[in-house]
Each structure stands twice: as structure tokens, then as C-alpha cells.
């Protein structure tokens, strides 16, 4: 009898243990590991690809991604951006466009079945503005017609008899779409007319102003200036040569704006100078100056 009692107790203990194991009261706490296929800088409009791995799928209810400025905390909900879950392509693959220039940390987080929030490691990605080389190629620039129109307008509003000169300009923008695979759009902003100066001692100038769409987060599409363009004036109404290409003021403006500059100006008659009273229809070319791409702080 004693033996049998002991035996029954033993069976009860075993059954209890088995039952406990099935409901798993001490599950392995899942961890998330985030990695990126982007090993170097990503240009705005390009694709950011992230992989998310976990050691315990069964305990995870849902996975999401957040973005925060590089090095900033993400657990106090301030300046934390939550891109759409639509960017998940499958269980562990996440692909979204790079919307906004800056240094960003991507972090995956999961809600577990026991309603806990767990975070992955940070993945830092630097999103940069496009290199403007593609708009520098003379006569092949996608903005050739806009630049030519600005030049023609500059000529039309310059008057050699009264020494009246004027410059024109515009900003070049890019728009990043939130649809994967949709091309980035580059376009010229409105033509800006500089003030007309009817004096040989007053060089004309034109001021173009960056008009970015104000998008706070790196998770939404927006419009951003990537370069600025202006024409230089005719030199057919005044004596004395002048330097061609970017002036000192232009160089300073490009540095201040942190924006690449393009200027349409005459081919030099000699040594970087266009002579006074040069025919207004003389050959003109694009000069490039300032940073190669827009910079960000
Ligand atoms: Zn200038």
C-alpha cells in the first residue's frame, strides 16, 4: 500500500510538470536583431532595406519600426517617428524610401503575446541629398530649357542703350514619393526676376529663396531644394570687362545656403574675363560652384 501511494504521487507530480510545460509560463524572452542592407550613405529617394530577426517567433504578436534622430532616446515618445507598417514586405523584411536628409537611427520593436514592448538594436543610416553632377552636364542638363528660358528673359529685359541689366534665377527641387519604385521628381521652381539696374556702377543681382516643404519627420514624402541657378547679365551696355562664372558673392551665398550653385554666363573673351561691349548673343555656358550636394546640419 505504501508503495502504491508513493507511485500515485509521483505520477501526479509528473502530470503537473507536463501541464506546466504546455502552457509555457516561463517563455524565452524574445529578442529582436535589426540589420540593414545599406552599408553606406543613402541618397534621398533611394531605398532603405532592413531585416528583422527574432529567436522566438511564437511569443511575438506584432513587429514595427521607429525612427529617431541619430543617438536620441526613443523611449520617451518625443521626436520619434513611426513609419507605416505597409513597408513590411514579409515577416522580417522592411523596405521604405529615404525621405529626408539627416542622420537617423532605425529601431525595430515588437509587442509580445504577454503585452510587453521589446526593442532591437539601433541601425544608423545617413541620408544625403543627391549629387548634382547630373544637372551640370552642359547642353544635356534636364533643366536646359528652363535655363535657356531664364537667359532669354534676362536678354529681353536688358537694354544696352540705357545701361539696364538684370539677372534671373530659380531653385531646383526634388520631390520624394512614398511609393516604392516611383521615380524621384526633379523640377525647376518659379522664375525669379532680379531688380533692373540702369547704371554701369551697380552690378545687378537676383535673390532666390529656398522654399522646402516643411516635413518634420523622416517618414513622410516632401519637397526639398537641391541646387540654385541664376544667370549673369549682359555685358554689352557698359565698358570694362568683368569676371565670368561665380562671383565672390555667389560663392558666399552657396556656402551660406549650403546649396550647390549653377550660373549661366558668357564664355570668357580672355583670362576668365568677358570684355565690355561683348555681343549679348555671344556663347554662354553653365558654371558650377559651391558644395557638390546640399549639406545638412
Ligand atoms: Zn552671380
Kind of pairing between the strands at 102-112 and 60-69: antiparallel
Centre of ligand 1 from the C-alpha of residue 279, in Å:
19
Return the C-alpha cell found at 231. Answer: 544667370
Centre of ligand 1 from the C-alpha of residue 172, in Å:
16
Centre of ligand 1 from the C-alpha of residue 265, in Å:
9
How large is the ipTM? 0.99
Q: Which residues of 260-272 are buried (b: 16+ CB within 10 A; e: fewer)?
A: bbbbbbbebeeee
Per-residue pLDDT of the chain in tens (297 residues, 90 and over written 9): 334 443 444 444 444 444 444 556 666 888 999 999 888 899 999 999 999 999 988 999 999 999 999 999 998 888 999 999 999 998 789 999 999 999 999 999 999 999 999 999 999 999 999 998 877 765 667 788 999 999 999 999 998 888 899 999 999 999 988 887 788 899 999 999 999 999 888 888 999 999 998 788 899 999 999 999 999 999 998 888 999 999 999 999 999 999 999 999 999 998 999 999 999 999 999 999 999 999 976
- For residue 19, the model assigns a pLDDT of 44
Centre of ligand 1 from the C-alpha of residue 247, in Å:
5
- For residue 2, the model assigns a pLDDT of 38
Residue ranges of domains in the chain, CATH in brackets: 28-128 (2.60.40.10), 132-289 (no CATH)
Centre of ligand 1 from the C-alpha of residue 250, in Å:
5
- For residue 138, the model assigns a pLDDT of 59
Centre of ligand 1 from the C-alpha of residue 252, in Å:
10
Annotate 265-295 with DSSP letters as a single string.
Answer: EEPPSBTTEEPTT--TTS-EEEEEES-SS--
Centre of ligand 1 from the C-alpha of residue 33, in Å:
51
Centre of ligand 1 from the C-alpha of residue 44, in Å:
28
What residues contact 32, with CB distance under 8 A and at least 6 apart?
52, 53, 54, 63, 108, 109, 110, 118, 119, 120, 121
Centre of ligand 1 from the C-alpha of residue 292, in Å:
17
Centre of ligand 1 from the C-alpha of residue 99, in Å:
31
Centre of ligand 1 from the C-alpha of residue 232, in Å:
6
Phi, psi values for residue 140, rounded to 5°: -115, 5
Centre of ligand 1 from the C-alpha of residue 262, in Å:
9
Q: Residue 108's beta-bridge partner residues?
A: 65
- For residue 159, the model assigns a pLDDT of 87
Amino acid at each position: 500500500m505504501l508503495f502504491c501511494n508513493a507511485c500515485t504521487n509521483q505520477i501526479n507530480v509528473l502530470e503537473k510538470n507536463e501541464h506546466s510545460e504546455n502552457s509555457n509560463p516561463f517563455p524565452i524572452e524574445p529578442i529582436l536583431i535589426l540589420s540593414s542592407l545599406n552599408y553606406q550613405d543613402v541618397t534621398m529617394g533611394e531605398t532603405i532595406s532592413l531585416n528583422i530577426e527574432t529567436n522566438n517567433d511564437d511569443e511575438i504578436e506584432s513587429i514595427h519600426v521607429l525612427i529617431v534622430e541619430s543617438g536620441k532616446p526613443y523611449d520617451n515618445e518625443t521626436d520619434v517617428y513611426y513609419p507605416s507598417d505597409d513597408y513590411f514586405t514579409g515577416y522580417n523584411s522592411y523596405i521604405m524610401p529615404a525621405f529626408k536628409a539627416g542622420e537617423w537611427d532605425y529601431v525595430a520593436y515588437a509587442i509580445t503575446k504577454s503585452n510587453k514592448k521589446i526593442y532591437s538594436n539601433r541601425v544608423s543610416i545617413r541620408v544625403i541629398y543627391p549629387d548634382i553632377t547630373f544637372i551640370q552636364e552642359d547642353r544635356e542638363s534636364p533643366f536646359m530649357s528652363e535655363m535657356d528660358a531664364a537667359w532669354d528673359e534676362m536678354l529681353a529685359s536688358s537694354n544696352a542703350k540705357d545701361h539696364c541689366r538684370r539677372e534671373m534665377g530659380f531653385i531646383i527641387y526634388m520631390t520624394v514619393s512614398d511609393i516604392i519604385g516611383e521615380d524621384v521628381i526633379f523640377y525647376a521652381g518659379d522664375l525669379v526676376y532680379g531688380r533692373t539696374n540702369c547704371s554701369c556702377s551697380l552690378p545687378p543681382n537676383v535673390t532666390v529663396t529656398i522654399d522646402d516643404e516643411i516635413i518634420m519627420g523622416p517618414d513622410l514624402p516632401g519637397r526639398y531644394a537641391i541646387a540654385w541657378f541664376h544667370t549673369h547679365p549682359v555685358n554689352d551696355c557698359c565698358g570694362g570687362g568683368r569676371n565670368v562664372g561665380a562671383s565672390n558673392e555667389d560663392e558666399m551665398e552657396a556656402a551660406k545656403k549650403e546649396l550647390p550653385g549653377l550660373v549661366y554666363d558668357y564664355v570668357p573673351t580672355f583670362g576668365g574675363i568677358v570684355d565690355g561691349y561683348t555681343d549679348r548673343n555671344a556663347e554662354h555656358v553653365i558654371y558650377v560652384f559651391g558644395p557638390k550636394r546640399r549639406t545638412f546640419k
